[in-house]
Chain A
Amino acid sequence: MFSEQIELRGHIIDSLILPKVLDEILTNGGSFSIREINIGKQRHDASYACIDVFGPSPEIVDALVRRLRQHGAEVVEQKDVTLVPAPADGVFPTDFYVTTNQQTFVHLRGKWIEALPATMDCAIAVDVEKQTAWTVKFSQVRTGTLMAVGHHGIRVVPVQRSTDRKSVFEFMASNVSSEKPKSAVIREIAEEMRMARKKGGKILVVAGPAVVHTGAGEHFEKMIEWGYVNLLFAGNALAAHDIEQALYGTSLGVYLEKGALADEGHENHMRAINAIRAAGGIAQAVAKGVLRHGIMHCCVQHKIEFVLAGSIRDDGPLPEVIIDTLAAQRAMRTKIEGVTIALMMGTMLHSIAVGNLLPAHVKTICVDINPSVVTKLTDRGTFQAIGLVTDIEPFLRELTEFLAKKEAGSVAVSA
């Protein structure tokens, strides 16, 4: 995304020049954000508007601005971003710019440079010679790294609503509470996932152990088998209880089939963790035939990348679990590139952590039985998030049923 800032002055409201300019931007493949607008108070007072014009290429933006100049638009000379070296390792300079999850550019030597990846609650580091900018967490900054400060020469591109298909993320005005019907929304989510898969977008699933506890593991495995999961982020618990279920048929000591407590069932997850530790890890356990079922088995079999991030309450943990939280965060950041849909189920901890890493354009679906968790996760200043208050199992059952119809449809077509 490339951009230019323009100004309009005069009787731009009475003359309909402002709406005309905005319409021209949209109809010529651009988008805009009104930075400032002052409407004249008296009839003869001039009005003023300052508008950021965005386009997919520098050529489109140039052509757009040329057109807009005919209507009186003047290009604003941009100042370069102010850069200050970081005073110490892990410390940002005072007045550092705090990023949002939206696409952000810094103006450097007359050009707009995108700060990658779009991640909220970061600062922006800049390499003047290489003309690059990137978002950094505290842990990534070193003494002397040049950092963006203040707000001059920094531009944020808001996520534009798509003009083509009306997606579920746009028509949803609020989260789906436990009292509302969910089928239509789940069907739309299935359609979004199918579209993402077709277009090569990555689907990320962030899952808590409730997926296993509620007996939804088999649905999840189907999604993996059908190619609707490209990346899994979870904690120790999901993997531990999934493996417990695979090895002993219980989750937290409860038989999933019968719903009854197993004798000495509380030991099962500890024994499961030990079995995997003994094998050297999940992948090794699969290779050795120790682990033959379940979500983690399915991930290994289908070569689905996963990141298991540890927490202070973990038992074990399993060997794959990254116990250094900063290392876990880095591992997640390196893998989220290309993600277009994030499905977050039954985990507040991991969902918030991942939500903080995702750019605003990623469509996010939050499913939790606790309404406050859903609200917390979807209320992220982007319309690209929907939330459903429901148990995980009925949600995933219905989702996989819709996906199964799609699968059947595509088989029929290919046959």
Chain B
Amino acid sequence: MRSYTDLNLRPRKNTEEAKMMLGIAADIGYSKVAVSFSSEAGKEEIKKTRALCSHVGLDMVTRVDLQPESSGALLKALGNLRGRFEIIAVHCTTKDVSRQAAKDRRVDLLNFPHADPTKRRLYFDHQEAALACKSLCALEIDACSILNNDPVQKARALATMQKETTLAIKLDVPIVVSSGATDRYGLRTPRDLASLLTLVDVDSDSILQAVSEIPARIVERNRAKLQSSFVSPGVRIVG
């Protein structure tokens, strides 16, 4: 049986709403969720959220979202945080950050946020796709950027996403769709979330992989890397 993963939940810290949200996520079919923490989050905070997740039967994955202003800041943050978080997503707001993120093997997800609706956002271009396919980065489609827009902005966002997904598919860059939910009303069932990919021209036969196999593979790979027995890809201490 297929198991589903939502790689981007942002529940408010230790509130009743967070408990309810995680409970609903488990009820609607997710087995793993990535909870986004700030880079300063302590072990205690992560432990509490993990306890909430395991109480409702969810496997929690730790995630951090980076929004560096330069490629140097990104490299510094990656050095500090790669060993602490299972998923690292980079919000690409400048070209040099997106290029660096696309070629760095420590980055898991590339996210192109729609920060300023009056401006055309930075997009995932051919060069980034070529770099990302070698570094195993995945392109993240955030459902909340489709849902929380007025119709004209939504149409523009979809048009840009269509170009990005076409490129990603052409160059074999994995695509991940996540809810980006901050409360229970932002949650969608895994299949509903996957169905949103049909709006950005992803083949209906492969949409379910974006909420199941691909995110699970990323989590599994990073968990293996975070183990003390890991030496380098394909090499680990067994004895």
Q: Do A and B bind each other?
A: no
**B residues whose Cβ falls under 8 Å from a Cβ of A:** none
Partner-B contacts on A (CB < 8 A): none
